[in-house]
Structure 1
Amino acid sequence: MSKTLNVALVQTDLVWEDPEANRRLLDDKINALSSEVDLIVFPEMFTSGFTMNPSAVAETMEGRTIEWLKEKAKEKQAVLMGSLVITENDNFYNRMVCVEPSGAITKYDKRHTFTLANEHKVYTAGTEKVIFEYKGWKICPLVCYDLRFPVWARNVEDYDLLVYIASWPKVRITAWDTLLKARAIENMTYCIGVNRVGLDGNNHEYSGHSVAYDVLGNRLDTLKESEDATEIVTLKKDQIKTYRDKLSFLKDRDSFSLKV
């Protein structure tokens, strides 16, 4: 078990619908990391941008991007996290993959598909909430629009870290800022959000606002708006125990089950 977790937030522009170019771009960013890291987090659909044209970029779980993630995870001895378009059983998924140095993969299919962009008509929604453990840390991976639905993120598993990846546009960035901080506070967990920057192929603008919050909602990073940059933040396991023991808010949560 590790008392700390070093997480790299990769806030970057993406090349529209070009997986090979995006792998090269992210390869350079990974290679440039000078400090030891445990988790490296990319934005949503990091191989393509948030496209509703999945047939142009879809891969399988045996495809080149998964191979590349395994190679980089082993090389950096870190978990790589991000979503890409996966085709499986004649369906398309906006799938977040969490690839460990061992080659083990935890996958999470985005539960809340973004109806405003007709994502629900193109991608099959996931049905399972996922928690995986790494170095003694319980981590919950979620994707973009999931952020607007707090029940789905509700911390009934006593996880330690909530990670959102996104293509969240600048026009609605206030919601992103507000809800990420709320998820950290209400779940008494570290909460990280990684969003892209730049313009996509549909001319939507993204301003980043990637962030890391501690269990009290205090900001840990110094990333700037619209900055194409990577920052490493250090999370401390002791802080979670200290404040959960002291404040005990999670013990007072309502008891109910969620029908999917």
Structure 2
Amino acid sequence: MKTQLKVSIIQSHLHWENPVANRTQFSEKIAAISEDTDLIILPEMFTTGFTMNAASLAEETNGVTLFWMQSEAKKKNAALTGSIIIKDDGLFYNRLFFVFPDGTFHQYDKKHTFALAGEHKTYQAGQNKLIVTYKGWKICPLVCYDLRFPVWARNKEDYDLLVYVANWPDKRVNAWDALLKARAIENMAYCIGVNRVGLDGNGHQYTGHSAGYDVLGELLTTSDYEKEFTETITLEKEHVVTLRDRLQFLQDRDYFEIK
């Protein structure tokens, strides 16, 4: 088990519906990470921006972007995660990949599609929560709008780290800030949210606010919230174990099933 987990956050603008340009810029940003890192987190739909033009932009699961992620993970000897548009058995998904350094991967389909933008009309909602075990850490990766639904993120699995990748617009960024912190506190887990910046092709403005919080809701990141940045933070397993043992809040969880 690795007692520390170094996690790199990449907050970036996205080239609208231009996978080649986005893969190129993220290759450069990943290569520029000078310190050792275990996990690199990219935003939601990092190859395209948050678009409903799935028919023109979707890839097969084993398409060029997954191959690119596998290549980048191997070069950096770090896991890599983010979501892209996937066509699978005739349906479109906002699918997150968690790619290990050896090229193996897990996938998670966004559970809560964003009805306000019509996402539910284009993309199939996922049904299964994913818990990734990596270097002795249990990680729960989720996507954007999932952040508003605490029952789905509820820590029944005793995970150590909750991750959200997002395209969360500026007009509701106060909710992003509040909910990220709340998810960390209520689940007694580290919580990291990675958002984008800039203007998208639909005229929506994004101001980032990517951040990491510890199990008590203390802010760990120090970069300027609203600009492009890459920052690596160190998570401590002892922090999670010690505070859970001392406070035992998770032992008082209510028990119920999602139907």
TM-score, scaled to structure 2: 0.99
Match of 1:22, as an amino acid? Answer: N
Partner of 2:10: 10
Match of 1:124 in 2: 124
Q: Deviations over 1:172-206 (max 9, x none)?
A: 00000000000000000000000000000011000
- Matches of 2:21 and 2:73, distance apart in 1: 19
What is the SS of the residue equivalent to 1:70? helix
Distance 1:225 1:136 in 2: 30
Report if aligned partners of 1:12, 1:228 keep a CA contact under 8 Å in 2: yes
Native 8 Å contact 1:15 1:21 kept in 2: yes
* In structure 2, distance between residues paired with 1:220 and 1:179: 16
Gaps spanning 5+ residues in structure 2: where? none
- 2:203 is aligned with 1:198: no
What amino acid is aligned across from residue 40 of structure 2 in structure 1?
I
3-state secondary structure, aligned to 1:33: coil
CA displacement 1:118-161 (0-9 Å, x = unmatched):
00000000000010100000000000000000000000000000
Please tell me the residue identity of whatever aligns with 2:144.
Answer: C
Q: How large is the RMSD of aligned CA atoms in angstroms?
A: 0.5
Query: Which residue does 2:160 correspond to in 1?
Result: 160
Q: Secondary structure, in 3 states, of the residue corresponding to 1:81?
A: strand
Q: Structure 1 length as normaliser, TM-score?
A: 0.99
Q: Is the 8 A contact 1:163 1:193 kept in 2?
A: yes
Q: Does 1:142 align with 2:142?
A: yes
Matches within 5 A, 1:1-260: 1-259=1-259
Unpaired runs of 5+ residues, structure 1, are none
Contact 1:108 1:129 in 2 (8 A): yes
Instruction: Indicate if the aligned counterparts of 1:198 and 1:226 stay in contact, CA closer than 8 A.
Output: no
Distance 2:241 2:105 in 1: 28
- Give the deviation of 1:225 after TM superposition: 2.7
CA drift at 1:102: 1.2
Counterpart of 1:214, as a letter, is: D
Q: Which letter maps to 1:99?
A: V
- Percent identity over the alignment is 59
Number of residue-to-residue matches in the alignment: 259
Q: Which amino acid is 2:133 matched to? A: E
Cα distance in 2 for partners of 1:63, 1:234 equals 32
